[in-house]
Structure 1
């Protein structure tokens, strides 16, 4: 669970903890503000807890989709290196065509051509990341590369992994993987929005309401008492 999610969970857990302390006070806890009544606070906690559970149940499908996409895209850079060698050995391929290949390959790998005078091994260390590393852009560049190979007359490798039909299948898998991430993100994002409204953003949100409940408790408790000191350590913070 991320640090942010841990913070949300802590606020909700602290709400339950404060409700427990309020229940121990019994009739002594008697605020004039109905929003601070224990029944209302418990309902607010139960709602927030349910919304957090919805978030939790939405995280796994999204994480699995992201992991699947990363695993699918991971071999691309190494494959492009081998494809370049295969393309270079193709009968009739010119230096201009090879440069076209490399221009697309650099976009797929997220590097720029080095225009400095540095040559040899050092040149590999001066590759600069560019903004074409999103999965949509990489998939698009993969399609552009496939088109180049498809329109090269003598590019007809015997090895299945380098054949145009195989590359096209890989492109389809890339598109599907990215769509799965998008599809699984929608319910997660919705769940987080609902949870955040309950805990932070609504007019009568959990954090503000429980902080008010704490303030009221401080008016009826002895500042030197153990219960007062314990309650003072229960924090409710905006994300």
Structure 2
């Protein structure tokens, strides 16, 4: 679980912990605000816990899809270097064709992986994923252009299977499938995160706000030097 996801889980776990402390107080805990009643707090916690479980169950398929895509794309740069040599060794290939090859090759090698910034903003998560998808889509498109160049070079017909057009086309199809798998698994993950973020942070009666209010009420009925007060003061609910 990422550091960001751990933060969400900590807020939810702390909600359960605060509910336990409140339950131990019994009738002493008697807020006039119905939203702070233990039953309501427990309902908020249960909803948040369920929504976090949905996120957890969606993370693994997405992570595996991302890893698989990276595994496919990582060797491309080295392969392009060897392909250039194979292309240069092809009978009848002249300088202008080599320059066309290198123009496409530079585009393929020039895309750098950017690590997304952790966020609880669903729109930002969608934006980061969209940028990443576009990067891989462009690389696949450039790979397709390179294949087309080789395919239309009359004497390009290497004996080595890994450099043959049919092999390159198969690799391109695998790239397309891998990128589509990332998109397909991101959709349920993004939906689960959106629901979780709404429950924990964004709704009118979100977990962080309501449980912080419950703490405020608790501090009015507990002595500041009491063990209960000190224990509850250590329970934190953070927006980030």
Q: What is residue 136 of structure 1 aligned with on the other side?
A: 137
Q: How is 1:12-27 mapped onto 2 (pairs within 5 angstroms)?
A: 12-27=12-27
Q: What is residue 172 of structure 2 aligned with on the other side?
A: 171
Q: What is residue 237 of structure 1 aligned with on the other side?
A: 238
Q: Which runs of 5+ in 1 are unaligned?
A: 112-130
Deviation at 1:223, TM superposition (A): 1.1
Q: Which runs of 4+ in 1 moved over 4 A?
A: none
Q: Residue by residue, what CA displacement relative to the aligned partner does 1:154-208 show, whole Å, maximum 9, x if unpaired?
A: 1111111111111111101000000000000010000000000000000000000
Q: Which runs of 5+ in 2 are unaligned?
A: 112-131
Q: What is residue 9 of structure 2 aligned with on the other side?
A: 9
Normalized per residue, the structure richer in helix is 2
Question: Secondary structure, in 3 states, of the residue corresponding to 2:204?
Answer: coil
Q: Residue by residue, what CA displacement relative to the aligned partner does 1:96-147 show, whole Å, maximum 9, x if unpaired?
A: 1011101111111117xxxxxxxxxxxxxxxxxxx9x921111010001001
Q: What is residue 114 of structure 1 aligned with on the other side?
A: none
Q: What is residue 85 of structure 1 aligned with on the other side?
A: 85
Residues of 1 paired with 2:97 and 2:211: CA distance? 67
Residues of 2 paired with 1:221 and 1:160: CA distance? 76
Q: What is residue 161 of structure 1 aligned with on the other side?
A: 162
Deviation at 1:2, TM superposition (A): 1.0
Residues of 1 paired with 2:28 and 2:17: CA distance? 18
Q: What is residue 149 of structure 2 aligned with on the other side?
A: 148
Q: What is residue 190 of structure 2 aligned with on the other side?
A: 189
For this pair of structures, how many residues does the alignment match? 220
Q: What is residue 212 of structure 2 aligned with on the other side?
A: 211
Instruction: Please give the root-mean-square deviation of Cα atoms over the aligned residues, in Å.
Output: 1.4
Residues of 1 paired with 2:234 and 2:29: CA distance? 19
Deviation at 1:224, TM superposition (A): 1.1
Residues of 2 paired with 1:59 and 1:82: CA distance? 36
Residues of 2 paired with 1:47 and 1:203: CA distance? 14
Q: What is residue 122 of structure 2 aligned with on the other side?
A: none
Residues of 1 paired with 2:186 and 2:55: CA distance? 11
Q: How is 1:34-73 mapped onto 2 (pairs within 5 angstroms)?
A: 34-73=34-73
Residues of 2 paired with 1:90 and 1:142: CA distance? 19
Q: Residue by residue, what CA displacement relative to the aligned partner does 1:20-49 show, whole Å, maximum 9, x if unpaired?
A: 000000000001111110011011101100
Moved more, 200-209 or 224-233: 224-233
Which structure would you say has the larger Rg? 1
Q: What is residue 201 of structure 2 aligned with on the other side?
A: 200
Residues of 2 paired with 1:41 and 1:61: CA distance? 32
Residues of 1 paired with 2:54 and 2:228: CA distance? 33
